[in-house]
Amino acid sequence: MKKLVILFFVLFSTLARADEGMWLPLLIDRLNHVDMQKEGLRLTAEEIYSINHSSLKDAIIQFGNGCTGEIISSQGLVLTNHHCGYGAIQSHSTIEHDYLADGFWAMNLKEELPNEGLTARFLVRIEDVTQRVLAVLSDEMNETVRNEKISEIAKTIQDEATKGNGYQARVASFFNGNEFYLFVYEVFRDVRLVGAPPSSIGKFGADTDNWMWPRHTGDFAIFRVYTGPDGKPADFSKDNVPMKPKHHLPVSLDGVQKGDFAMIMGYPGSTDRYLTSYGVNLAIEVSNPTIVKIRQKKLEIMRKDMDANREVAIKYASKYAGISNYWKYYIGQTRGLKRLKVYDDKKAIEAEFAAWVNTDAARRSKYGSVLPDIEAAYNTMGDYTLQRWYYIESIARGGEIMSLAQSFTGLSNELKAEKPDEARITRLKSNLAKSVERHFKNYNQPTDLKLLSAMLQMYYENVPVEQQPASFRAIVAKNKGNFDKLAQSIFAKSMFASQEKINAFLNKPSAKVLAKDPAFSLINSFMEKFRENQKNLEQPSENLARANRLFVAGLREMQPDRKFYPDANSTMRLTYGKVLDYYPADAVHYNFITTLKGVMEKEDPDNWEFVVPEKLKELYHNKDFGPYAMESGEMPVAFLSTTDITGGNSGSPVLNGKGELIGLAFDGNWEAMSGDIAFEPELQRTISVDIRYVLFIIDKYAGAKNLIEEMTIVPKRAKVKEGVASENAPVEVESVN
C-alpha cells in the first residue's frame, strides 16, 4: 500500500497537478491560466474560450454522439478519429466499394458522401446557473423531489436560452449535484465523409494493440460540415454549402519533443474520480468481470462468422468494434484497480474524511451518515448487479432480434391506448420502417441466431432464479434446456426475423399481433422483470445519490485551497500537460514517440490486424516522407502526453502552446486503465496520432492534395539554442500547398 504521505500529496495537494484535471473552459482564466503559462501556453484565456470573439472553442465539435472533432479549414473540414467515423465509413461500404479495406478519398466536393443522422455540435456558450438552481432546492427535499425541481428549473433555463434562435441547450450537473452549468449549442445536421485511410492504417493493430503502447495506428478520418446557403444548420440538400466556421485550427509541422507543452479540448464522456471504495469493490468483483464475460462470448461468435465471409465482416465491422473496445477496457480497468491498489487509496481518503467529520459537531450532523449510507446502498445494490448487467448486455444488447422487437414497444403502447393518436401512430410507423431498413442492411440472421441462443443461456445460468422472468424459465423448461432449439423456435415464429413480415405488419399494425409475437413477448417479460427488480433499488439509489452529493461537498469543504475539477459528463473540457515518456514496470522504459519503422516491424501478412499496404511499404523503403519527416529523417506515427482524457475525447485535437494542431488523441495506455476512477500521474498517458503522419497519409499515400491545400499549415520553425534568436523564426521547407 502506498505511503499515506504520498497518497495525500497526490490526491489532496492544495495545488492540483498540471496534468490532472478536466477543466471547464469557462473557468480557465480563474483556475488554470497562470499555471498553463508556466508550462508553455502562449494564448490568452480569451483566445481559448470567448463568447464575444472567435476562440479555440469555436473549432471544437462534438462529433456524432460520442466523439470529438476539430475544424481544420475555412471550409468546414473536420478531423476526427477513424474509429469515430467507422460507422459512417462502414455504412457506405459494400463488397464492390469496400471503403473499410481500401479507404475512401473525395477529390472534390461532389464526391463527398452524406451520412444520415450524423451531427456536428458547436458550443456557443457556458453559463454558471448554480445559484438559480439551488434557489429552488432545500435540504429537506428527498432526492426524488429534488430531481424533479432540478428538471423543472433546468427546462425553464433551457427554454430561455433557445427561444427564437434554433439552438439546443442543456443544464448539466457537476460535483454530484452541487453545481450546475448551462451549455448552449448550435447543431449542424449535414456532415459528409471526405476521407479515410484503409483499416490497415486507420485500425492497424486492432484489438491486439488497443489501449496499448507503443502504438502505430493512423487513427484519423476526415469529414466536412455543410450549412444551408444562409450559413445556418440544415438537413442534407444538394443546395447546401461548406461551412464557414468562426475559427479553424492551424496545423503545425514542428512536431513534438519531450517536455513540450500540450493541451487537449474535447468532450470527455464519463469519469468517476469521486467514487468510493464500495463502488471500486463492486466494479472489481462483479460488474467488470460480468461485462467482460458476456462481451467475450459475443465477440467469439461474431469473429468466427466475420472471418468466414467478407460480406458479414463488412456488415458487422462497426458492431464488433463497439463491443470490443470496452470489452478490453474493462479487462484493463480491473487489472489497473487491483495493481495500483485503488481500493486501498479510496479507503484512506474515506478514513481522512471520517476523521475530519468527527472533529466537529456541525460536521457530524451534516456528514456523519454519509459513509454508512453509501456502504448500505452498495450492499443492497450488490444483490442486483448481476441481473442488471446480464439484462443490459445479454438481453437488451444481446440477440439483435430482441432489440428490434423492443423498439416496437412505443407503437404497442399507442395501439393499446383507450384513444389511440393516429398522427402519432403514423410517425411511429414511419420511424420504425426506417430503423428496420437500417437493421437489415447490416444483419446476418445465422449470426444473430447464435447470439440469441448464447445470450439467453448466459442469462439463464448466471442470474439468480428469483430475479428471472417466470415465463422465460418456463420456455427454457419447455425446450428441455436446449437454447439452440429455443432460439430457432423464436426465429421461425417471429415476424422480427423477416423484413418483409415486419413491413407487412406496419401496413396494418395490431396490438394483438404484437403481443403474440414470441420475440416481442419475450423481451417484454424481461423488461417487466428488470423494472420489478429495479424497484427494490429505488430507495438505496436515492440514499446513494444524496450521500455521494454530500461526500463530494464535504471533500471540497475539507480542502478549501485545493483546485477541484468535476467529473467528465460529455461537456467541453480542457486538459493540459507535457509530451512525456514513462516507465510501466521495473527495468522497462517507453519512449514518447513511435515511427513508421515500428509499423514495418509489426507487419504480419497472415494476421488481418497487422497487414501493411504495399504502397505504404514502398513509401517507407523510398523514405518518401515529404516535409512531414522528423529531423532524423524518420516518419513519426504517434506520441504520448500526460494530458487527462477518457472516452469521448477520441478525435480531440492535441494543441501546442500557440493553439496549433500537433495531433489527435485516440487512446489511453494499458497501465493506467483505472484512470477513469483514479488518476495515476506517473503512469497515465494520452496516446495521439502525430499530425505529421496524418498529413503524410493524406498527401503521399492517398494523393489527396486538395485537402492539404485547404488547410492552414504552419511550416517548421527553426530550431534554436536556448537564448538565441526567436522561436518563431521561419525555416524553408518543401512546399505543402
Cα angle 94, 97, 100 (rounded to 5 degrees) comes to 75
The answer for residues whose C-beta is within 8 angstroms of residue 301's C-beta and 6 or more apart is 447, 450, 451, 454
Tell me how far apart the alpha carbons of residues 99 and 81 are, in angstroms, rounded to a whole number. 15
User: Hey, is 681 helix, strand or coil?
Assistant: coil
All three cell numbers of 639: 506520441
Among residues 82, 83, 216, 247, the one annotated as catalytic is 83
The answer for residues whose C-beta is within 8 angstroms of residue 117's C-beta and 6 or more apart is none
Tell me how far apart the alpha carbons of residues 235 and 237 are, in angstroms, rounded to a whole number. 6
Among residues 55, 91, 287, 650, the one annotated as catalytic is 650
Tell me how far apart the alpha carbons of residues 639 and 634 are, in angstroms, rounded to a whole number. 14
Tell me how far apart the alpha carbons of residues 557 and 178 are, in angstroms, rounded to a whole number. 12
The answer for residues whose C-beta is within 8 angstroms of residue 656's C-beta and 6 or more apart is 40, 252, 254, 260, 261, 262, 662
Tell me how far apart the alpha carbons of residues 10 and 82 are, in angstroms, rounded to a whole number. 35
Active site residue 216: no
Tell me how far apart the alpha carbons of residues 455 and 536 are, in angstroms, rounded to a whole number. 25
Among residues 19, 58, 190, 219, the one annotated as catalytic is 219
The answer for residues whose C-beta is within 8 angstroms of residue 583's C-beta and 6 or more apart is 589, 590, 682
Q: The cell 519503422 sits on which residue?
A: 597
Tell me how far apart the alpha carbons of residues 505 and 514 are, in angstroms, rounded to a whole number. 9
Active site residue 98: no
The answer for residues whose C-beta is within 8 angstroms of residue 28's C-beta and 6 or more apart is 36, 45, 48, 49, 574
Contact 727, 630 (CB under 8 A): no
DSSP assignment of 556-575 equals: HHH-TTS---PPP-SS-EEE
Q: The cell 438559480 sits on which residue?
A: 132
Q: Read off the DSSP letter of residue 73.
A: B
Whether the bond into 636 is cis, omega within 30 of 0? no
User: Hey, is 467 helix, strand or coil?
Assistant: helix
Residue 261's DSSP bridge partners are 578
Q: Is the dihedral of CA 312, 315, 321, 326 positive or negative?
A: negative
Residue 226's DSSP bridge partners are 190, 242
Contact 595, 636 (CB under 8 A): yes
DSSP assignment of 267-331 equals: ------TT--HHHHHHIIIIIHHHHHHHHHHHHHHHHHHHHH-HHHHHHHHHHHHHHHHHHHHHH
Q: The cell 463488397 sits on which residue?
A: 95
Binning the chain into helix, strand and coil, the percentages to the nearest 5 are 50, 15, 35
Active site residue 83: yes
Residue 564, exposed/middle/buried by CB under 10 A (0-12, 13-18, 19+)? middle
Q: Which residues are known catalytic residues? A: 83, 219, 650
